[in-house]
Structure 1
Amino acid sequence: MKNSRWGSALALLLLLLAGSPRAMAASDEATAIRQAMAAQQAAWNRGDVDAFMQTYKDAPDTTFVGRTVRKGYRAILESYRRHYATRAQMGRLTYSDLDVRLLPGAGGEVRYAVVTGRFHLDRTAHGEVAQDDGIYSLLWEKTAGGWKIILDHTS
């Protein structure tokens, strides 16, 4: 009888924690990042590089690591414009194997997140960038303007 009460109490506690505001907020944060990535993919598939870049933080220290390292929002934007100059070079972007890991600080507040996954470009033309498939890791920061990418490592 005593073990049954403890088991019931533990089950109730776990249920409460799963539905706690902190757990729900974490779920909301991961959902917000997934929605930002879906909007980014849709923008790419419309051929709208400027809208695609809205997920990146507009800051001089935002960094893209690929074959080279580019620093600064403007440098990254210009690189995308140069390497994917036509709709045929942009093609259709698909993300897969998306994994969002929230990184809570000492006080439990989530300000950063790491996102990993795969990308695929289905396209008929290539510019300087011939790669159609790869993996990425993104470091996101929660800003006043929403979640923004501050570091993109794509290979």
Structure 2
Amino acid sequence: MRIRGALAVLALALVLGCSGTIQAQERKSEEAAIRIVLEEQVAAWNRGDIPGFMASYEDSPETTFVGTASVNKGFQPILERYKKGYASKEQMGALTFKELDIRLLPTAGGVTEYAVVTGRFHLERTARGAATKDDGVFSLVWHKGPGGWKILLDHTA
């Protein structure tokens, strides 16, 4: 009886240990997927491709950008805001992100559909247009849907 009990406890420990390992691997995989989207976003910005940069945003009327002085709602108005603020490649410059922190937000069932990403941005550029800020912080709310990870809410200051 004691051996059977000990084996049952050992089996349970192995199952729980494997479950924790699988969850850690899934977490790393989801974080890596978000980092890839962020890298693609930086690459698009640095080649002067605002529509490519915006590919990381959910194409929805509910997508929201909160800046220091305004709130823009809807994918298209946000796209137009970027085009107006950064009218040329020189005004866009070179974008870098640093101090990125990705926090996955799993549901009670353990499914991860949402994440929050915070960090700092820096623009190295030779010209300025309507957008004059070269450094700042941001927080992004992400949703994982059929098209992968997309930004729902961008708060940049």
| TM-score between both structures, scaled by the size of structure 1 | 0.89
Distance (whole Å) between structure 1 residues aligned to residue 131 and residue 33 of structure 2: 30
Q: Secondary structure at the match of 1:142?
A: strand
How many residues in Structure 1 have an aligned counterpart in Structure 2?
146
> Aligned residue for 1:73?
75
Distance (whole Å) between structure 2 residues aligned to residue 123 and residue 145 of structure 1: 32
CA positional deviation for 1:13: 7.5
Matching of residues 2-151 of structure 1 within 5 Å: 16-20=18-22, 22-66=23-67, 67-151=69-153
Q: Secondary structure at the match of 1:19?
A: helix
Percent of pairs with identical residues: 54
Instruction: Structure 2: give runs of 5+ residues left out of the alignment.
Output: 1-9
Distance (whole Å) between structure 2 residues aligned to residue 120 and residue 12 of structure 1: 46
Distance (whole Å) between structure 2 residues aligned to residue 60 and residue 16 of structure 1: 41
Distance (whole Å) between structure 2 residues aligned to residue 143 and residue 14 of structure 1: 28
CA positional deviation for 1:36: 0.1
Runs of 4+ in 1 over 4 A off after TM superposition: 11-15
Residue-by-residue CA offset, 1:34-58 (whole Å, 9 max, x unaligned): 0000000000000000100000000
Distance (whole Å) between structure 2 residues aligned to residue 90 and residue 29 of structure 1: 29
Amino acid at match of 2:54: M
CA positional deviation for 1:128: 1.3
Distance (whole Å) between structure 2 residues aligned to residue 91 and residue 14 of structure 1: 49
Instruction: Structure 1: give runs of 5+ residues left out of the alignment.
Output: 1-8
| TM-score between both structures, scaled by the size of structure 2 | 0.88
Query: RMSD between aligned alpha carbons?
Result: 1.7
